[in-house]
Amino acid sequence: MKSVFGLLGHPVGHSMSPLIHNDAFQALGIEAEYHAFDVESKAVKQAIEGIRALGIVGCNVTVPHKVAVMDYLDEIDEEAQLIGAVNTIVNDNGRLIGYNTDGRGYVESLLELVRMFQEKRVLIIGAGGAARGIVTSLLKEGIAELAITNRTLKKAESFNVLANQFNTNLVLLTKEEASSQTNEFDIIINTTSVGMSPHVNELPLSLNAVKEHAIVSDLIYNPIETSFLKVAKKLGAQPLNGVGMFVNQAALSFEYWTGKKPNRKRMEQLVLQQLGGK
Ligand code: ATR
């Protein structure tokens, strides 16, 4: 009998997770199937009970349930606790354990461009769930300085506690301050949805002062190259899109479930094919 894996989210119709996980199961000869389950917010508790009742072996969790599922799991891994959200559930013989692979997935994509984080000054645009995942993983790596800018700056204040835990200096900047100081940062990461299809001409921040060779990154992967990344490239910065994060978080989840490493390059090719075919 095939083992069942799944994605809990709402909506899930456009998710590429079934495509890459099912391909990886097949490639590795694992008798398993991955389904996208469209779960409304009011049914999250029942969905988690369903994992136990049906013997579903592992799940991903996506928007808007990453925080809500935490109440119904048996154990939450330390990094997921720090982030305050779960994107991966492992069913260990009926014991449900929550992990978060988003931040680490992103950091692993960044590691292809950066060797050492210790000297790096990082500017994050946005203060939502995605920002929290990435900031937590970056703080775990150890960075020189963290700055956050957000439309609602007050929301970024909650990151102070997190930064303090890692003895890292956190600076909160208005959009104007951040725009005029982009030359101070080695890594600039947009975690907001500004610039996502269909609003592809919008920029989350002006990059006029950006340092040559700085890394400018966008978690968005639709479009694959946002206006933000196009501008960054023109100014001599190194662009990094969100495809690597998507692939790596999936690969890390897969590793938690199966103990096996999927072929990340193959996953990436499938994602690029799918995005290019749109
Ligand atoms: P996610 O899990 O993707 O991070 P989220 O937790 O809802 O989603 O956070 C969305 C982030 O994008 C927030 O930082 C939000 O800014 P606010 O805190 O001010 O709401 C930011 N964001 C979303 N739409 C935006 C827009 N049009 N302009 C600027 N920032 C935006």
> In terms of DSSP H, where are the helices of the chain?
17-27, 44-54, 78-83, 102-110, 129-141, 159-165, 175-180, 227-234, 243-258, 264-276
Q: Say whether pLDDT at 108 is over 60.
A: yes
**pTM of the shown model:** 0.96
Rounded Cα gap, residues 163 and 155, in angstroms? 14
Q: How far is the CA of 255 from the centre of ligand 1 (A)?
A: 30
Task: Check pocket membership of 127 for ligand 1, CB cut-off 6 A.
Answer: yes
Q: Which of 192, 203, 205 to mutate to test the pocket of ligand 1 (most atoms within 8 A of CB)?
A: 192
- Residue with the smallest CA separation from ligand 1 atom 10 is 128
What is the reported pLDDT for 104? 98
Q: How far is the CA of 204 from the centre of ligand 1 (A)?
A: 10
Rounded Cα gap, residues 132 and 214, in angstroms? 22
- Residue with the smallest CA separation from ligand 1 atom 7 is 128
Rounded Cα gap, residues 131 and 136, in angstroms? 8
Task: Check pocket membership of 151 for ligand 1, CB cut-off 6 A.
Answer: yes
Task: Check pocket membership of 129 for ligand 1, CB cut-off 6 A.
Answer: yes
Q: Say whether pLDDT at 212 is over 70.
A: yes
**Amino acid letter for position 271:** V
Task: Check pocket membership of 67 for ligand 1, CB cut-off 6 A.
Answer: no
Q: Let me know if 66 is a catalytic residue.
A: yes
Rounded Cα gap, residues 240 and 107, in angstroms? 11
Q: What is the pLDDT of residues 4-24, one digit of tens each?
A: 999 999 999 999 999 999 999
Task: Check pocket membership of 85 for ligand 1, CB cut-off 6 A.
Answer: no
Which string of DSSP letters, residue by residue, matches 211-274?
PTT-EEEES--SSSS-HHHHHHHHTTPEEE-SHHHHHHHHHHHHHHHHS----HHHHHHHHHHH
Q: What is the pLDDT of residues 33-53, one digit of tens each?
A: 999 999 999 999 999 999 999
Say which of 2, 42, 66, 155 is annotated catalytic: 66
pLDDT confidence bin for 277, thresholds 50/70/90: low
Rounded Cα gap, residues 214 and 125, in angstroms? 15
Task: Check pocket membership of 193 for ligand 1, CB cut-off 6 A.
Answer: yes
What is the reported pLDDT for 115? 87
Q: Which of 151, 203, 206 to mutate to test the pocket of ligand 1 (most atoms within 8 A of CB)?
A: 151
Task: Check pocket membership of 89 for ligand 1, CB cut-off 6 A.
Answer: no
Q: What is the pLDDT of residues 165-176, one digit of tens each?
A: 999 999 999 999
- Residue with the smallest CA separation from ligand 1 atom 6 is 128
Average pLDDT over the chain, rounded to an integer: 97
